[in-house]
Chains A and B, each alone.
Chain A
Amino acid sequence: MTENHIRGIDDLGKSGIEEILALSDHFHEVSTRRIPKVPALRGKTIALLFYEDSTRTRLSFETASKRLSADSLNFSIGSSSVKKGESLRDTIETISAMGVDAIVVRHGSAGVPWMLPRWTDAAVINAGDGSHEHPTQALLDCYTIRKNLGELNGKRIAIVGDIKHSRVARSNVKAFLALGASVTLVGPKTLMPFNTDDWGVETTDQFDSVIGDSDVLYMLRMQLERQQKSFVPSLREYAKEYGLSDSRAQSMKPESLIMHPGPMNRGVEVSSNIKEHPKSVVNNQVANGVIIRMSALYYLLGAGSITKLEGFNDE
């Protein structure tokens, strides 16, 4: 039975993050080969268990599994099967009985990845739980920043938007801080968590006050239904106060990055052509997603150490 999971950033700590980022340099090299595939996890079975709709994260894990020669089982469980009455426990025990080595899980409720080890011996990777954590997103963001700015230590990162409901923000805050960056959360008070006293971050509702000082502007996706629930009076007003417009991008530091976890609402949290802005590394993020997920799977199921990458040769 493994005690090794990537449920949240705290499962890794600084050393685990560093190890996965170091592995990623190797897997980055693999991805540039003519045949970007290695037999590192041949014979391992990985279940992808998505209770919430996801395209990019699921595809990213599936591609990563295939490139490591692992077998992947795809369970797309809509909310309907919950309504049919099958409990989480029954589903996990069923999947576990099929003999899987790792379960990648996404669920609309916070904490599900922490429940799984009660019912399975498989390693658990969190692909997003409610508004709680999304650790592989944070890892790929760290990797992207490191690739573009050299290191995170001493960097100033502003995370902008709907922090309250964002699992990306919660994982990124932990990962960025672990690697020595400082973090400012930016958004209206309605979209801020109730209490961030213990987070080790600054908070502000004045976006313009942080733009010139930030090495990274990390723009979060604005859920369009937030307007209906009065979190913001209108998306137009939100875009005006917290959207990354071309003119705001003008006042950024020379060596700085624009990031976004996708999918983007062009015209809301970012203006329509920001993705193509010279400072934008959004497409890097997607490409690095596959590499990071290869590293995460190898970290849990492979030899673990970067010094002896067994089965790491070209096929």
Chain B
Amino acid sequence: MSELLLQGGRVLDKAGDRLADVLIDDEGRIAEIGKGLKGKETLDVQGKIVSSGFVDLNAYLGGPEDQLSETIISGTESAVKGGYTAVVAISRNPVVADNASSVKALIELSEEALCETIVSGSATLHNDAGTMSPLGEISDAGVKLFSASGPPLTDFETTRRIMEYSQKYDITLLYSCSNSYLSPKGVMNEGAVSSQLGIPGIPAVAEEIEVFQLSQLALLTGANLHFQQISTAKSIEIINEAKSNGASITCEVSPHHISLDESFITSFDARYKVLPPLRSKQEIASVKELITSVDAIATGHSPCQDHLKQQAFADAPFGTTGLEAALGASIMHLDIPLKEILRLMSWSPAEIAGIAETHGGDLVPGRPANLAVFDPEATWVVKGDQAASKCSVTAFEDIELKGLVSHTLVNGKLVVIDGVVQDHGR
């Protein structure tokens, strides 16, 4: 690797916003930030923002048991194309990470990744809430984030034990509050649209009840919790109250939940079938008002085989891709300063994922050059067939977004140039 100069961009990090060149040394570290720098190779990034790369807390990248929805390679190609330099890989059936050897297999697979991939474990056996998995063994393999949900979450005693036991290993439990006990057949938000379409609904209160239950257990036990894909304003209020009472809780919101509402489902296209479901316009407006108290934007990137998403709405699996659209959806739909968007997409999730030493935060000499270069004003229209993800069916199809990544650097290496993922010899 030779020296690389990012010339003429606007550097934006926690310290603020300034016009400056960024020099990256031949070991892939930031050497210097300032004006009028010189380097062997120069990349013109005038008019663009240079920031720390984004960190996704919630993406499914396949695994040994599932290479059809996504692979570690296609998934991280999608990630770097979206400006991500680190991704937390979440397990989803049939991929389970409930024992040390499964986790080690996932970690081994992740060596092929184009960006840093943080393997998460499952806090319960078979991704099911019934029995605790060997947290200590898995944690010894280097895992610090554990998915702890699994339908149905009614076994409060096991949940409490997991929260208590987890603390020895200083791990964070990830909860997706999409329990189905209030609406076993529900596939979309319950409201005027579901009533009209005759489609079984999932009430917002189902999520809110679960968020309340878990946040009270967090207060009782002192465990570290992170709530995935919060989709209602009331959930955020419940979390904020628990935080102010001392709970160690963080939460994320997904780009599609702030940009797409339930009315898209009148087309009956299963690309809009996600869990938690797309909410009402009013709910989205209320969530956006509370966005500054949210800790992260995380994609919930959940690719499915294309043909499965072409089934009838009730029959298709839940999930949409999100890694490539996240920045554009956030800038387009959140009326907050760019700095705040970077907090949500990079700085704060880097801390939650425990990688703040190398990702997010301040751009200062000596740090690995994990960087995103993007035009915050560029508008573009999403076309799923141009995605790097294996899954071309996305809820963002034909949606106009604002903010486009042109370059991504992982440890100083340009993995995306002018929006194109570079050939990485695989």
Q: Do A and B actually bind?
A: yes
Residues from chain B with a CB closer than 8 A to the CB of A112 are 268, 312
Residues from chain B with a CB closer than 8 A to the CB of A315 are none
Q: Is A287 an interface residue (CB 8 A)?
A: no
Residues from chain A with a CB closer than 8 A to the CB of B310 are 87-89, 115
Q: How far is the CB of B71 from chain A (nearest CB, A)?
A: 22
Closest to A170 in B: B198
Q: Is A167 an interface residue (CB 8 A)?
A: yes
Contact B268 A165 (CB under 8 A): no
Interface string of A170-182 (1 = CB under 8 A from B): 1000000000000
The CA of A87 and the CA of B305, in the complex, are separated in Å by 12
| A87-B314 in contact given A112-B268, A195-B191, A195-B192 (Cβ < 8 Å) | no
Residues from chain B with a CB closer than 8 A to the CB of A88 are 310-312
The number of inter-chain residue pairs (CB within 8 angstroms) is 68
The residue that B191 contacts in the complex, of A89, A111, A165, A194, with Cβ under 8 A, is A194
The CA of A167 and the CA of B192, in the complex, are separated in Å by 16
The CA of A266 and the CA of B178, in the complex, are separated in Å by 40
Q: Is A305 an interface residue (CB 8 A)?
A: no
Interface centre among A89, A111, A131, A133 (most CB of B within 10 A): A111
The CA of A194 and the CA of B192, in the complex, are separated in Å by 7
Contact B312 A194 (CB under 8 A): no
Contact A110 B307 (CB under 8 A): no
Residues from chain A with a CB closer than 8 A to the CB of B1 are none
Q: Is A82 an interface residue (CB 8 A)?
A: yes
Closest to B314 in A: A109
Residues from chain B with a CB closer than 8 A to the CB of A199 are 196
Size class of B's contact patch? 20 to 34
Contact A167 B198 (CB under 8 A): yes
Closest to B185 in A: A229
The CA of A284 and the CA of B315, in the complex, are separated in Å by 36
Q: Is B190 an interface residue (CB 8 A)?
A: yes
Contact A198 B196 (CB under 8 A): yes
Contact A193 B195 (CB under 8 A): yes
Contact B197 A111 (CB under 8 A): yes
The residue that B307 contacts in the complex, of A87, A166, A195, A196, with Cβ under 8 A, is A87
Contact B268 A194 (CB under 8 A): no
Interface string of B163-194 (1 = CB under 8 A from A): 00000000000000000000000000011101
Contact A111 B313 (CB under 8 A): yes
Q: How far is the CB of B267 from chain A (nearest CB, A)?
A: 7
The CA of A196 and the CA of B196, in the complex, are separated in Å by 8
Contact B197 A132 (CB under 8 A): yes
Residues from chain A with a CB closer than 8 A to the CB of B190 are 194
Within 8 A of A (CB), among B191-225: 191-192, 194-199, 201, 203
Interface string of B247-273 (1 = CB under 8 A from A): 000000000000000000001110000
Contact A82 B315 (CB under 8 A): yes
Contact A111 B195 (CB under 8 A): no
Contact A114 B314 (CB under 8 A): no
The CA of A151 and the CA of B197, in the complex, are separated in Å by 28
Q: Is A107 an interface residue (CB 8 A)?
A: yes
Contact B313 A109 (CB under 8 A): yes
Closest to A131 in B: B198
Residues from chain A with a CB closer than 8 A to the CB of B312 are 88, 107-112, 115
Within 8 A of A (CB), among B270-324: 307-308, 310-315
The CA of A112 and the CA of B269, in the complex, are separated in Å by 9
Contact A197 B192 (CB under 8 A): yes
The CA of A194 and the CA of B308, in the complex, are separated in Å by 29
The residue that A110 contacts in the complex, of B191, B198, B203, with Cβ under 8 A, is B198
Interface residues of A (CB under 8 A from B): 82, 87-89, 107-112, 114-115, 130-133, 165-167, 170, 193-199
Q: List 25 A-B contacts (CB under 8 A).
A: A87-B308, A87-B311, A89-B310, A108-B312, A109-B313, A109-B314, A110-B199, A110-B314, A111-B199, A111-B312, A111-B313, A112-B312, A114-B267, A115-B310, A130-B199, A132-B198, A132-B199, A166-B198, A170-B196, A193-B195, A193-B196, A194-B190, A194-B201, A194-B203, A196-B195
In order of increasing CB-CB distance, the 3 nearest A-B pairs are A111-B268, A131-B198, A109-B312
In addition to A110-B268, A110-B314, A193-B198, 15 A-B residue pairs with Cβ atoms within 8 Å of each other are A87-B308, A88-B310, A89-B310, A107-B312, A110-B197, A110-B312, A111-B197, A114-B268, A132-B198, A132-B199, A165-B198, A170-B198, A193-B195, A193-B196, A195-B192
